[in-house]
């Protein structure tokens, strides 16, 4: 956090726009006297007081509730003052301006400003102060933002689980066992003539294997939580008039994309987030893939390929009504060849045959160079086969329901857990070698401890903290 973090801060803590209630929040030191000066009345800690909020001329800006939370028993661990008024933007801006004005006014008793240095809070600064004051660890702080940003009920529940400390508790359990094992190994470095026998007696290898098993359980729950938080991006691709826009509309349950019999109607991407069993899937409809002399359509096709390159999965949509058209089959084959020429880590391709409602008995014959799973036949018009497609999308996403719940996890959490797994594997390899190098074994355990500590913030660099909290909303 920057050096001015000791300054008192203020922000409107409710979302922009009109609402029944709006909150102006302050955090800093010695707010009790400032609150008395601002409001003309002493506030009792943790008790809501209904009173007018006066301006500089002692005319009421509004009437509402004032709450004072003395340090350290507050959200940030500092003194916190909240003014709860009616949620009009003008009212809240007037309150904000009045607080800034009152902060600079002179205290007759000291001759100094009532609240010197009061400034507008930066994004996430209230929660960042809570983290720095040990009110929560970094994983819990991130869960605050995840709970606010949750797009599904399942995502909200997983964020709430992490905010309660469940994810952090699992990490701390792993840390304690890893530290114990590390101390055991480093203690043997003082007695090199007995090191191997000592580690065997302490079952060091068994402890590593137990750690690896527990780590995989945490990693699996975290991976599912990251899926709930971020979802996956799925691109619908195919030739013009294959029914891509109709499929998007069918999956979304709304007429989002224009559908006409005219080839090339979709010229730019149309995106919608849908939920399947609580998993957010970001579905992107793209322009039909074909050669065109139309400059605008060419741009749309190029953008389609750009989206395909970034996708987590691709729905390659085919037209059953044209399955016997040799030119259509050749064009599909050309598209498939380009799909499989993408980067080595290309996304999975789901082949879907649409317009099942237009034919009596589909007789699909296609050669798939990647030997993908069985093809799906659907009708975007009648919704036949859509349930099977939804389940296939969940399978591609890697979703597995966890009876004990999942944690709201981020990419950095998964990277850290994978790093720990690698260090544990290296440690196990060193321990199993004919002549164990205990110094290397101890170093791998130390690096694993650091990687685990990055999740909860024990070893997190300041620049990473800046990136994390800058993505929070103002006032939180």
Report which secondary-structure segment, H or E, holds 455: helix 438-456
Residue 372 confidence (pLDDT): 47
Residues annotated within the binding site for GTP are 241-246, 260-266, 285-288
CA 133 to CA 116: how far, in whole Å?
21
Residues annotated within the binding site for (6S)-5-formyl-5,6,7,8-tetrahydrofolate are 25, 82, 135, 476
Residues annotated within the binding site for Mg(2+) are 245, 266
Report the percent of the chain where pLDDT is more than 70.
Answer: 87
Alpha-helical regions (H) of 311-435: 326-339, 386-397, 411-432
Helix axes 153-163, 138-149, angle to 10 degrees: 160
Alpha-helical regions (H) of 133-254: 138-149, 153-163, 166-188, 195-201, 204-230, 244-252
Report which secondary-structure segment, H or E, holds 9: strand 9-12
Q: Which of 2.40.40.20, 2.60.40.10, 1.20.140.10, 3.40.50.300 is the CATH number of 239-397?
A: 3.40.50.300
By three-state DSSP, how is residue 424 classified? helix
CA 238 to CA 219: how far, in whole Å?
36
Residue 119 confidence (pLDDT): 95
| Tokens 């137990």 belong to residue | 210
Residue 220 confidence (pLDDT): 87
Residue 342 confidence (pLDDT): 60
Residue 369 confidence (pLDDT): 44
Is there a contact between 249 and 367 (Cβ–Cβ < 8 Å)?
no
Block mean pLDDT (10 aa), the chain, length 476 = 68 90 95 94 95 95 96 95 95 96 92 93 92 92 87 84 91 92 79 62 85 92 83 86 84 59 54 81 83 77 83 87 87 84 68 84 51 69 88 80 73 92 93 82 91 86 72 77
CB within 8 A of 257, min separation 6: which ones? 244, 245, 246, 248, 249, 266, 270, 285
Q: What are phi and psi of 284, to 5 degrees?
A: -125, 120
Is there a contact between 276 and 394 (Cβ–Cβ < 8 Å)?
yes
- Residue 459 CA to its chain's centroid (Å): 21
CA 3 to CA 46: how far, in whole Å?
30
Q: How far apart are the first and last CA of the chain?
A: 15
| Structure-block tokens of residue 182 | 């590390």
Domain segments of the chain as ranges? 3-136, 147-227+410-457, 239-397
Residues annotated within the binding site are 25, 82, 135, 241-246, 260-266, 285-288, 476
CA 373 to CA 439: how far, in whole Å?
48
Q: Which CATH class is domain 3-136?
A: alpha beta
Residues annotated within the binding site for K(+) are 241, 260, 262, 265
By three-state DSSP, how is residue 188 classified? helix
CATH number of 147-227+410-457: 1.20.120.430
CB within 8 A of 467, min separation 6: which ones? none
Q: Which of 81, 94, 88 is nearest to 22 (CA)?
A: 88
CA 162 to CA 96: how far, in whole Å?
33
Q: What are phi and psi of 28, to 5 degrees?
A: 165, -160
355-362 contact pairs (CB < 8 A, 24+): 355/243, 355/319, 355/320, 355/321, 355/379, 355/380, 355/381, 356/320, 356/382, 356/384, 356/385, 357/381, 357/382, 357/384, 358/320, 358/321, 359/320, 359/321, 362/320, 362/323
Residue 449 confidence (pLDDT): 92
Is there a contact between 121 and 469 (Cβ–Cβ < 8 Å)?
no
């Amino acid at each position: 956090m920057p050096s001015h973090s000791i300054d008192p801060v203020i922000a409107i803590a409710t979302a922009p726009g009109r609402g029944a209630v709006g909150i102006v929040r302050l955090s800093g030191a010695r707010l009790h006297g400032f609150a008395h000066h601002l409001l003309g009345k002493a506030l009792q800690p943790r008790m809501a007081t209904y009173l007018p909020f006066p301006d500089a001329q002692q005319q009421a800006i509004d009437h509402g509730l004032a709450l004072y939370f003395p340090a350290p028993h507050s959200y940030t661990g500092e003194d916190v003052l909240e003014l709860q008024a009616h949620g009009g933007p003008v009212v809240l801006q007037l309150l904000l301006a009045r607080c800034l004005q009152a902060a600079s006014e002179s205290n007759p008793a000291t001759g100094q400003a009532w609240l010197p240095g009061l400034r507008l809070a930066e994004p996430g600064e209230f929660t960042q102060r809570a983290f720095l004051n040990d009110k929560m660890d970094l994983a819990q702080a991130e869960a605050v933002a995840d709970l606010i940003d949750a797009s599904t009920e399942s995502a909200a529940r997983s964020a709430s689980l992490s905010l309660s400390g469940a994810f952090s508790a699992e990490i701390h359990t792993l840390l304690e066992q890893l530290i114990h094992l590390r101390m055991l190994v480093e203690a043997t470095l003082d007695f090199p003539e007995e090191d191997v026998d000592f580690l065997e007696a302490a079952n060091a290898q068994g402890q590593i294997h137990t750690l690896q098993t527990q780590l995989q359980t945490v990693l699996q729950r975290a991976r599912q939580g990251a899926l709930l938080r971020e979802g996956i991006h799925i691109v619908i691709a195919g030739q013009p008039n294959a029914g891509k826009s109709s499929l998007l509309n069918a999956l979304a349950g709304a007429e989002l994309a224009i559908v006409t019999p005219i080839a090339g109607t979709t010229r730019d991407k149309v995106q919608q987030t849908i939920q399947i069993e609580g998993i957010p899937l970001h579905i992107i409809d793209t322009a039909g893939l074909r050669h065109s002399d139309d400059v605008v359509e060419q741009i749309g096709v190029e953008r389609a390929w750009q989206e395909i390159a970034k996708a987590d999965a691709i729905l390659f949509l085919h037209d059953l009504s044209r399955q016997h058209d040799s030119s259509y089959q050749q064009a599909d084959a050309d598209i498939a060849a380009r799909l499989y020429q993408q980067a080595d880590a290309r996304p999975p391709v789901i082949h879907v045959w649409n317009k099942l409602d237009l034919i009596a008995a589909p007789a699909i014959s296609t050669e798939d160079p990647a030997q993908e799973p069985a093809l799906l036949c659907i009708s975007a018009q009648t919704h036949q086969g859509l349930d099977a497609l939804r389940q296939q999308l969940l399978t591609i996403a890697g979703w597995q329901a966890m009876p004990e719940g999942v944690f709201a996890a981020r990419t950095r959490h998964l990277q850290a857990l994978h790093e720990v797994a690698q260090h544990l594997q290296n440690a196990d390899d060193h321990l199993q070698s004919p002549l164990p190098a205990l110094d290397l074994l101890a170093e791998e355990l130390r690096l694993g401890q650091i990687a685990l500590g990055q999740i909860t913030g024990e070893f997190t660099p300041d620049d990473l903290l800046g990136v994390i909290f800058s993505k929070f909303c103002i006032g939180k």
